[in-house]
Structure 1
Amino acid sequence: MTASQSRSPRLIVRHFLAMGMALVIGALTLPLPAHAQQSTQPSTQPSTQQSNQSPAGNNALPVEDVQTFAEVFERIKRTYVDEVDDTTLMRNAIRGMLGELDPHSAYLDKDDFEALRETTEGEFSGVGIEVGMQEGQLTIISPLDDTPAARAGLQAQDRILRIDDTPTESMSLQEAVDMMRGDEGEDIRLTIMREGEDAPRNVTLTRETIQTESVKHELLSPGYGYLRISQFQSRTGEQARDAIAALREEGELKGLVLDLRNNPGGVLDSAVDVADLFLDSGLIVYTEGRLPDSDMRFSASTQTSAPDVPMVVLINGGSASAAEIVAGALQDQQRAVLMGTESFGKGSVQQVLPLNNGDGLKLTTALYYTPDGRSIQAQGIEPDVDVVRGRLEVAEGSGLNIREADLENHLRNINGDTERTEREASLAESDYQLGEALNLLKALNVLPRTQGGN
């Protein structure tokens, strides 16, 4: 079955990769790209555990279990302190059934579908955080760039103890998401507990309509570009291609930093498109599940924007799903050096299955694997170079921050001053990891690369 066949009207399930329910709930994919091909033969790579039974199963639902469910349902209706309608009880039962499977399977009502669409298109109303459940506690997975959450300094792994005056301890993920949603201009107060701090803090955020550009770029230094991808939306691949072209217009591109830190994932197709910008052959990612439609392979095309530019990819604990696909592909193909800290470790694929009542079912149906056959589920990707987040400061009075060029009336260099840009000069202080990535790229260019090298 080819990728073009997968676009037929009968295939209504849609794949996406994101870290979980959130103020921005996941991301929906587009039709499969041309370089995706579904497997028609058994894969030689490590596979997930398969059931010997057919997907539908041959075991009938035990009558005793059906009777128990009906009995509980009836007793709740008759004796619960508040009257509960049948629809609410049934949907709660469905949510409970899915909630015990894994953190990423969920029942989607019409509002959830709308949130999914908004996330994919890059516009939504909220505070801009991706959240999930870790050890039973509502946790910030990643703040989105240029949002109220990011501007307030919220960080990945911050625990949310209260939403306004309501404790989150006994909340479901969906309940927390619903509480954090709201209209533009409305305030919300989050009580945050950060590792290493003695006491929680209250942070008040104002909801706003957030239009996220998933790709940003700039020159860190002459010849050295910076490409930041905050999440994978439907147009991220196209935007990244345009950004690389813009960087090349500034002159020879000697190196590129691809920043995937705090990228919660998103559209699978876009992740493949981004990896394809730097690879001209080979496997990017493949998925395996119980159903034949879950087995897919995505390979690089020969149309490549930057096949030979030295690269450093920055990752951290907020890099997940689609971001890990890109990082894993570039690492396995030895196309880039990965720098930073271990990634999040979400290696599962969800499908959104429309239901007859207009709602939907988001269900984990497959695991994805890097080109070398690595499953990163609950493991994450290890960087090639470990660099923790930090801030470099010069001790006051040490004199180490004084250079000849800083002295008044200093003699000019006969070749002209070669002053560093403000951006480059501040990297070691404001973003230590990015500064180290730039230093590594420059080191890679000290000696000429051998012919045929990466």
Structure 2
Amino acid sequence: MRSRLQQAGLVLLGAIAGILVSVNISAIAQKGGEALPIEELRSFADVFNAVKQGYVEPIEDKKLITHAISGMLSNLDPHSAYLDADAYKDLQVSTQGEFGGLGIEVGMEDGFVKVVAPIEDTPAWKAGVKAGDIVIKLDEAPVKGMTLNDAVKKMRGKPKTSIKLTIIRKGETKPLEITIVRDKIKVQSVKSKMIEDGYGYLRITQFQEETTADVVRQFDKLVKQAAENKGDTKELRGLVLDLRNDPGGLLHSAIGVSAAFLPPKSLVVSTDGRTEDAKRKYIAAAEDYARSPREDVLKNLHGSAKSIPMVVLVNGGSASASEIVAGALQDHKRAVVLGTQTFGKGSVQTVLPLSNNAAIKLTTARYYTPSGRSIQAKGITPDVAVEETPNGGSRDRLREADLERHLAGTEADKGTEKDPAKPAKPQQGKNGKDGKDKGSKAEEDEAKAPVFEIASKNDYQLSQAMNLLKAWQIMKK
């Protein structure tokens, strides 16, 4: 019996090698000059054959191979993944700024779906889903055992249909049930308004294909509004760029937004990985942010964008592309970064299409700010630390360093961080004489505080940004 298994395994080994070649994985391995590990593939073939021969129910070869690829990638880091044909199509559609679903950025932890951030103005955001929420059920189906792609598929669906999310949230004694009606998600990438005479506000909710062009349109709109002011001020005297709760998006859009406010040819971000094409420097030039040099959307940007005093707002929900922009403007001393520590998602994912209309999303490099600081698992530290409320309170947010198997900040950091498989537990307050947690009073005060809403009258961080811009004007006189 064993010899038959071994013979079948050898036959299967050849088939697996053929499959690897067909999906270009062998080419990827050879790019780094490494041969395929024959002994390990033989072990895989033995296991594959044992499952095929002895599992309680018959399983299709395609399903087994797909699960094997998915498991291989998902165990690397939280952002590498196998994308089947549907997931790959969804990814392509979502970068265009319109797709169907709930409107949440999610990851996987301990077999459950964990919310990285709800996208502003989407059904999930309006229903009260928060960063750090752990989804344990979708309708009545347990999430445990699902792949991330399976969970995402279940959350997406036709507009006007509903789904019930059962959520575990820190601070709640029992799971929450939130019913959300799906909708066509149309994310308005850039919003703007005049806060006061002479002071503009630009908010980027996500970096998409048209984000750089939208920044140009919205900034020019602010310039015109300032010129039409009935008072003495006829020009923009200051700008707040709000990147809070921005989960990121497309790299070329982040470079384009940075280029809008930086001198030409300034270094925006660099990447470093194992392959030569993963070692790159991106500058504030059309060749790095425009799909075509002839389509340079910044050529008509108002000239004041390069010199206007700026404050960039960030928080724990600012990730990836938004951290690239904040880091570039901070390193070049072009803006003051105000708020709280950012998420720390500083790794590059390359989408590699496969021959079966699927793809793999593979982490291939780390991002570095112009001064050489690693963003990964660290984030951007604001120049001026300001919490969300006047009493120093901010929401307890999930960050990259809290995710299982997160990539270390740099190669040198490996082994120096906490064990990613065992995230540190939050410290509990010590019991007082009455036996109650001393931290409960602060939690009660936070619960009574007005609901925080970005760009509203009770937006404390925005008000502090405005105070800083006005102080600059006074100092100039």
Q: What residue number does 1:189 align with? A: 164
Task: Answer yes or no: is the 8 Å Cα contact 2:250–2:321 preserved in 1.
Answer: yes
Give the Cα separation in 1 of the matches to 2:365 and 2:92. Answer: 22
Partner-residue secondary structure (3-state), 1:121: coil
Report the Cα offset of residue 194 of structure 1: 2.5
1:214 to 177, 181, 189: 189
1:431 to 445, 459, 473: 459
Task: Answer yes or no: is the 8 Å Cα contact 1:156–1:262 preserved in 2.
Answer: no
Task: Answer yes or no: is the 8 Å Cα contact 2:73–2:81 preserved in 1.
Answer: yes
Report the Cα offset of residue 137 of structure 1: 4.4
Stretch deviating more after TM superposition (74-83 or 279-288):
74-83
Give the alignment of 1:383-398 within 5 angstroms. 383-390=382-389
Q: TM-score, normalised by structure 1?
A: 0.76
Task: Answer yes or no: is the 8 Å Cα contact 2:199–2:237 preserved in 1.
Answer: yes
List per-residue Cα deviations over 1:49-96 (Å, max 9, x = no partner).
Answer: xxxx97443445233x23322221122122222221111111111111
Partner-residue secondary structure (3-state), 1:92: helix
Q: What residue number does 2:408 align with? A: none
Give the Cα separation in 1 of the matches to 2:58 and 2:150. Answer: 20
1:263 to 246, 257, 275: 246
List per-residue Cα deviations over 1:134-189 (Å, max 9, x = no partner).
Answer: 56642211111111111112222222232222333443322321221211111111
Q: 1:361 to 1:428 in 2, by over 3 A?
A: closer
Give the Cα separation in 1 of the matches to 2:118 and 2:253. Answer: 20
Q: What residue number does 1:359 align with? A: 358
1:61 to 24, 34, 37: 37
Give the alignment of 1:85-96 within 5 angstroms. 85-96=60-71
Q: What residue number does 2:218 align with? A: 243
Q: What residue number does 2:25 align with? A: none
Give the Cα separation in 1 of the matches to 2:256 and 2:204. Answer: 13
Task: Answer yes or no: is the 8 Å Cα contact 1:131–1:138 preserved in 2.
Answer: yes
Give the alignment of 1:280-295 within 5 angstroms. 280-281=263-264, 282-295=266-279
Q: 1:246 to 1:60 in 2, by over 3 A?
A: closer
Structure 1 residue 297 and structure 2 residue 281: aligned?
A: yes
Partner-residue secondary structure (3-state), 1:261: coil
Matched to 2:260, the amino acid is L
Give the alignment of 1:39-438 within 5 angstroms. 55-63=31-39, 65-134=40-109, 137-251=112-226, 252-281=235-264, 282-301=266-285, 305=302, 306-390=305-389, 429-438=457-466
Task: Answer yes or no: is the 8 Å Cα contact 2:32–2:275 preserved in 1.
Answer: no
Give the Cα separation in 1 of the matches to 2:36 and 2:119. Answer: 46
Give the Cα separation in 2 of the matches to 1:179 and 1:150. Answer: 18
For structure 2, list consecutive stretches of 5 or more residues without a partner in the other structure: 1-28, 227-234, 286-297, 392-453
Q: What residue number does 1:404 align with? A: none
Stretch deviating more after TM superposition (430-439 or 138-147):
430-439
Per residue, is there more helix in 1 or in 2?
2
Stretch deviating more after TM superposition (187-196 or 271-280):
187-196
Q: 1:179 to 1:308 in 2, by over 3 A?
A: same
2:473 to 422, 436, 445: 445
Matched to 1:343, the amino acid is T
Report the Cα offset of residue 300 of structure 1: 2.2
Q: 1:146 to 1:428 in 2, by over 3 A?
A: closer
Matched to 1:247, the amino acid is L
Q: Which has the higher contact order (CA 8 A, sep 6+)?
A: 1
Task: Answer yes or no: is the 8 Å Cα contact 1:285–1:370 preserved in 2.
Answer: yes
Stretch deviating more after TM superposition (322-331 or 273-282):
273-282
Q: What residue number does 1:408 align with? A: none
Stretch deviating more after TM superposition (202-211 or 106-115):
106-115
Give the Cα separation in 2 of the matches to 1:389 and 1:136. Answer: 31
Task: Answer yes or no: is the 8 Å Cα contact 1:268–1:322 preserved in 2.
Answer: yes
For structure 1, list consecutive stretches of 5 or more residues without a partner in the other structure: 1-52, 393-425, 450-454
Task: Answer yes or no: is the 8 Å Cα contact 1:156–1:317 preserved in 2.
Answer: no
Report the Cα offset of residue 285 of structure 1: 0.6
Report the Cα offset of residue 385 of structure 1: 1.6
Partner-residue secondary structure (3-state), 2:325: helix
List per-residue Cα deviations over 1:193-212 (Å, max 9, x = no partner).
Answer: 33233333111100011111
Stretch deviating more after TM superposition (270-279 or 293-302):
293-302
Report the Cα offset of residue 297 of structure 1: 1.4
Stretch deviating more after TM superposition (291-300 or 335-344):
291-300
